[in-house]
Amino acid sequence: MNIILTGVTGTLGSQILLELLKNETIEKFTLLIRDKKNLSAQQRFQRIIENDFFSTQTRILSNLKQRVQVFNSDEFFNPSKYLLEEENNYFIHSAGYVNLSTDISQKELIFEENFSFAKKIFKTFHFYIKKFTYISTAFAIGDIGGKIENNYHNNTTPNYRNAYEESKHKTEKHLLKQGHKNNVQIQILRPSVIGGNIINKPINYISKYMVYYLVGKFFYKNPLLEKNGIRLSVNFKSGLNIIPVDYVAKVITIVFLKNIQELNIVHNKCTNLVTGLTRIIETVGYKQFSFLDNVSTHNIQNMNKLEKFYYSSIGNHLSPYTSSKPYEFNTKKLEGILPLPQYNLEDYLEQTIIYAMENNFRNEKW
């Protein structure tokens, strides 16, 4: 069995690679890594395997050169040079462009990176693969509220909050259609918001600080905090679904061989927005904040400098989520595959933010 994998420089893709490498039945890995600035694809891969979460895996590293081939974009899109149609090839497309902007000017770029890129990949590789696993997002259905099932392609009408969600959902639809047309099995796996490790060491490790980490980063050593308080508009009844990255990677490496077409990889409980945000903001040392229950940002009167900055920056991207309808996911199928780790949701948030502070919210330079 061979694996073709994209997204290994990403938060999740790097951990998927780590878990897959533990599987000795996988003979060959083909990785797409784009050249970046002054770093080649090979140099970027070298930085990943030199990282703390890889460097202790001596058994994996011992035969890495025999199992892994790294290609840049130009080399990767010539599969006839390195793949055979009769091989047992599985494709896991983990690469994605996470951009929660509601700015219409960003839509074309978001669709280019998510929809068009996935379309190009499937068109190029469907001759060579047995199965195509697409890593989407649990938020691809949008703000629908209530109990959310794994099937996003029944009669449920999506309610997209941004172009990112729309691009992921429409990519899913395209792949399902093309998979049926070309007799390639399609699998769609959807993680929710990804947080730091809960199982693997280093505990709380994550390679990029995004989504809820941005709240902590905003309130960490911000010079505007000294003279200003802030009013945060959230839906008091709603929450945010957060799942540890290493748990997600373990699930993916189990289910990519299973006959499961759609699966949300999510927590069975959402972290309440008020208690969760309180824990994040207090952890970074800020106290002058309060909450408004689902008040439109347009109705917040007499904003100070801090509030204006927040709502014109990360607040602009996160507000569609902090004002979302209350929801929960049906995790019965997921927990039958790999039981969710047991931990306190707010304590987990605090621990992951402390880890981020210790690293000054610096992303890995891959």
User: How high is the pLDDT of residue 60?
Assistant: 80
- Per-residue model confidence (pLDDT) at position 54: 83
pLDDT of residue 156: 83
- pLDDT tens, position by position, 285-308: 999 999 999 998 888 999 999 999
Q: 2-194+241-265 sits in which CATH class?
A: alpha beta
Q: What ranges do the domains of the chain cover?
A: 2-194+241-265, 198-240+271-327+343-358
- The verdict on pTM exceeding 0.85 is yes
Looking at residue 32, its pLDDT comes to 98
Residues 6+ apart with CB under 8 A from 14: 8, 48, 51, 53, 207, 366
Residue 282 CB neighbours (<10 A): 14
pLDDT at residue number 65: 85
Q: What was the pLDDT predicted at 36?
A: 92
pLDDT (tens digit per residue) in 50-79: 988 887 777 787 788 899 999 999 999 999
Evaluate whether 30 touches 71 at the Cβ level (below 8 Å).
yes
**What parts of the chain have a pLDDT lower than 50?**
none
Q: What pLDDT sits at residue 297? A: 84
Is beta strand 146-148 parallel, antiparallel or unpaired with respect to 185-191?
A: unpaired
Distance CA 65, CA 91 (A): 20
